[in-house]
Chain A
Amino acid sequence: NAGVTQTPKFQVLKTGQSMTLQCAQDMNHNSMYWYRQDPGMGLRLIYYSASEGTTDKGEVPNGYNVSRLNKREFSLRLESAAPSQTSVYFCASRESSPYGYTFGSGTRLTVV
């Protein structure tokens, strides 16, 4: 099915390990977003890419980096994982304003 694909779906990391969360969309959307969702905190924006070749920080960028590899792909990297980064991570894409997002299925990350 067309949409937003995130990998992996689940991951357990040890403190200090690094990893990259992958996101790809096949809807030819211009903008892509990374959010984390924690109980009681709602969806918080980490980074976004309004168009290919641009990236911007969101509300909670510390400890993360991103790469907009091409129009389809937007990856999120944790260089040195910390227990505070235990969360559910969602990637989303959007054609343009005023349309809404399409979300991926999420990555459940646990840092021990």
Chain B
Amino acid sequence: EVQLVESGGGLVKPGRSLRLSCAASGFTFDNFWMSWVRQAPGKGLEWVGRIKSKTDGETTDYAAPVKGRFTISRDDSKNTLYLQLNSLKTEDTAVYYCTTDLLDYWGQGSLVTVSS
């Protein structure tokens, strides 16, 4: 059974940083491209970015609102996906979901609240 479990969310002040983790199991993680999607409270879904597999160069792509501030990385030895959130803004407050790149499997999400 595919499982994606996010962790690392919490309350952080504007301008600060946070790192989210996503532990994957039930599939061959290193073969898969992975993505992050977020959802602000009471709002719709927003694609954040994705990382290709190591075989495909481990390259990344990001949505415009987070480009240059967020970084996606992976550790295939730990079956773990990461999202580094820097220079956080209040508008980054959201539940962050880890997904397979085809968006067929989703974690339960991790809430990040950016507030002073």
Partners in one complex: no
Residues on A facing B (Cβ under 8 Å): none
